[in-house]
A and B are shown apart, each in its own frame.
Chain A
Amino acid sequence: EPEVTQTPSHQVTQMGQEVILRCVPISNHLYFYWYRQILGQKVEFLVSFYNNEISEKSEIFDDQFSVERPDGSNFTLKIRSTKLEDSAMYFCASVRGDNQPQHFGDGTRLSIL
């Protein structure tokens, strides 16, 4: 069964540094998402992406965040200048179409020192 893959599984970065989290969504999916989950807490929506542009974003997704689909397969989340509070699990998800189930990757654990 096709799955969403995320790399790296764990990223350790110094505060203030830029970090790029990578995702390969399922190939025939059209909608792409980033979520984050602070340890022990709920899954929080960051951003959705469709047709090569952001379609919706949350208050968390400020100017420090950006997303890109540089080619036909990768979907990336960039955090320009990381803060301690950015430490969390970041999940990528993709959906084939409207009101279809979201398929999640296994996440990248981001640790900011």
Chain B
Amino acid sequence: QQQVKQSPQSLIVQKGGISIINCAYENTAFDYFPWYQQFPGKGPALLIAIRPDVSEKKEGRFTISFNKSAKQFSLHIMDSQPGDSATYFCAASKMGGNQFYFGTGTSLTVIP
């Protein structure tokens, strides 16, 4: 059972463009939604996270948009750079829970 669905599987964006990755979840008990960035040979690294009491969170070029009624959240990377080329995973967890449920990942390539 896929708790968190992520799309697209891969994404190619021109340098300076906006990268958008989408995730959807089913379990309304989830209340913490992080995004992780993973470079080849490395573990996932926390990029930005949001809780459902806000609809948007911005940190530098990275923004999470959260739609609680639609049970969807997305990552926007503004002014995408070649150094942003990596695999991005969304995840979700619930209050007091131990397990993080990961999306299937999006391979982002930013071309110069």
Q: Check A43/B102 contact, CB under 8 A, given A101-B46, A103-B46, A105-B43.
A: yes
Q: For the complex, is B32 an interface residue (Cβ under 8 Å from A)?
A: yes
A43 to B41, CA, bound (A): 14
Q: Check A98/B95 contact, CB under 8 A, given A41-B104, A42-B105, A45-B100.
A: yes
Interface residues of B: mostly helix, strand, loop or mixed? Answer: loop
Contacts of A104 in B (CB 8 A): 36, 43-45
Instruction: Name the one of B46, B49, B89, B97 contacting A43, with C-beta atoms under 8 angstroms.
Output: B89
Q: How many B residues have CB within 8 A of the partner chain?
A: 25
Asked if B95 and A99 make an inter-chain contact with CB atoms under 8 angstroms apart, the answer reads yes
Q: For the complex, is B42 an interface residue (Cβ under 8 Å from A)?
A: yes
Chain A, residues 13-40, CB within 8 Å of chain B (1/0): the string is 0000000000000000001010000000
Contacts of A103 in B (CB 8 A): 46
Chain B, residues 80-112, CB within 8 Å of chain A (1/0): the string is 000000000100010111111111110000000
Instruction: Name the one of A4, A98, A102 contacting B96, with C-beta atoms under 8 angstroms.
Output: A98
Chain A, residues 88-104, CB within 8 Å of chain B (1/0): the string is 00010100001101111
Instruction: State how many angstroms separate the Cβ of A104 from the closest Cβ of chain B.
Output: 3
Interface residues in chain A, defined as those with a beta carbon under 8 Å from any beta carbon in chain B: 4, 31, 33, 41-45, 48, 50, 55-56, 58, 91, 93, 98-99, 101-107
Query: Which are the 9 A-B pairs with shortest beta-carbon distances?
Result: A104-B43, A48-B98, A101-B46, A43-B102, A56-B98, A42-B104, A99-B32, A106-B43, A104-B44
Interface residues in chain B, defined as those with a beta carbon under 8 Å from any beta carbon in chain A: 31-32, 34, 36, 41-46, 49, 51, 89, 93, 95-105
